[in-house]
A and B are shown apart, each in its own frame.
Chain A
Amino acid sequence: MKWQVKYALENLNKDVVGRCTAECVQNDVIKIVIKEQPDVLAAISDAYTISKEIANQYVQENPNIDFLCGYRKECVWDGEAISYLQKNNIGWGNFGTLHSAALNGNANVAEQKIFAFANRLIRQYGIVDKVDREFDRVFQVTLKNRHTIRIGLIPDYEPTSDNVRSLWKTFGPVHIAWNINPSGNPCATALEAGEDLGCKVLKTEGMKSYLQTL
């Protein structure tokens, strides 16, 4: 059994209230049984990046899956993979997203929890015309004044210099490193790293007013 499947089963089956059990069906696919909720068939991937091709391969091999889980913390989802899965009524995200979606009975429509709020919020700003999701955490945003900016999301509680520099190194230049965690604040060095690179490091409170200055 693959390592990521072992971890998923171990953590699903230690549910203290006994609401949840899980077993391996075949290869990367597990079945989660929740009391009073529909069973969930989920593929647990150890990929570092989930592209449309990888997502498609999972779906072709396992057409009945409800959810595709990227188990690694560093797993990145390509925007096209997200669109593909959503069109096929398959939820996507990390293990935490899978676990809560299974408990809530909404695995088919669930999306990576940590970015979900920011993804909704940016589309609700009145000054935003269009949002293209390049990756799970990188958006190309066109404002109504036709200004286009690239925004990268940092979910950490207290972003460090390394968080900002790694975002830049992995995904390329961004205009804004958006710290989407509602708590905590970026370290002073994270702000300095942003200045060095030429991007703003902003909390959600500062996003809307900054966009209005562009």
Chain B
Amino acid sequence: MQSIENRRNEELFTNSLMTANEIAVYLIKHCCSLEAFDSYMFGSTLEGIGHDIDILIIGPSGNALSVLKQELMFAGSELPLDILYMQPSEAIETDFVNRERCIELSVLASMNPRI
């Protein structure tokens, strides 16, 4: 019987490196705790294959965040994730979402698969 780890790795790299859409689908599928946070992608991966994958997570600190970090660490064990965690007040203070033209993971996941 195939292990979860092997199945996950097959999903990740069946043929080539994943697009932004595929990464969004993959993270939403494997990180249930994302539901409780606002999650975005920004940076070079939105334009193609970047050397890292910039993710922004906005939400409260505490136990839920610790669980999400664990899920993202496991899901990202074979992805170059660069994750920025912000509290809602920090996101407002920095205007990060607008400034960096962040796109919600849920929006990316519903877009054309080759984006």
Contacts and interface: CB of A to CB of B under 8 A. Distances in A.
B96 to A, nearest CB: 8
Interface stretch (A2-10, A20-28, A85-93): A2-10
B12 to A, nearest CB: 7
Contacts of B90: 158, 160-161, 187, 189
A98 to B, nearest CB: 10
Interface string B9-22: 00011000100000
Contacts of B17: 6-7, 10
B46 to A, nearest CB: 15
Given A73-B52, A95-B51, A161 B61 contact: yes
B49 A10 contact: yes
A135 interface: no
A189 B96 CA distance: 15
Interface residues of A, number: 24
A99 B52 CA distance: 14
A37 interface: no
Given A4-B80, A6-B13, A187-B93, A11 B51 contact: yes
A146 B5 CA distance: 51
Given A7-B17, A187-B94, A160 B80 contact: no
B86 to A, nearest CB: 5
Sort A-B residue pairs by CB-CB distance and give the 3 closest, nearest first: A162-B85, A73-B82, A3-B78
Interface of B: 12-13, 17, 48-52, 61, 65, 78-87, 89-90, 93-94, 96
13 contacts: A4-B80, A6-B17, A7-B17, A8-B51, A11-B50, A46-B78, A95-B52, A160-B85, A161-B87, A161-B90, A187-B89, A188-B89, A189-B89
